[in-house]
Amino acid sequence: MTRIKRGTTSAKSRRNILAQVKGYRFGRSKKEAQAEDAIAHAGAYAFAHRKDKKADFRRLWTVKINAAIRPLGLSYSKFISALKKKNIIIDRKILASFAEHNPETFANIVGEIK
């Protein structure tokens, strides 16, 4: 059998790994083992933070709705409860958008509830 040298394959693998960590600090951008570790951690954090982002936005919507509903004489929890009792199905993202950008439409929705 003929001998197969694997230098080009190893070099290509190393090049790809180091290209992914371009801009990282210290040894993580220069050393292959540290670079692989950095890629693994970065991927794990990216996955977790994509999930966290959804919760962060839901919290933000809650704050925006509550801030807009307080001057109209309701609290957030009572407002959401009243929405459910009246079978008004508008999600929090849309309600927050109305509260921020279309206060008159938001006031109309609150008027339907009262």
For 66, the token pair is 């509550």
Neighbours of 81 (CB within 10 A): 13
Average pLDDT, the chain: 96
Q: Could you tell me the two tokens for 83?
A: 């929405």
With cut-offs at 50, 70 and 90, classify the pLDDT of residue 26: very high
Domains assigned to the chain: 7-113 (1.10.1900.20)
Hey, what are 84's tokens?
A: 């459910």
User: So what's the pLDDT on residue 1?
Assistant: 82
Distance between CA atoms of residues 76 and 46, nearest Å = 32
pLDDT per residue as tens digits for the range 40-79: 999 999 999 999 999 999 999 999 999 999 999 999 999 9
DSSP 8-state code for residue 90: -
Tell me, yes or no, if the pTM score tops 0.85: no
Would you give the DSSP letter of residue 30? T
Residues 94, 98: Cα–Cα separation, whole Å: 6
Q: How far is it, in rounded angstroms, from Cα 40 to Cα 24?
A: 13
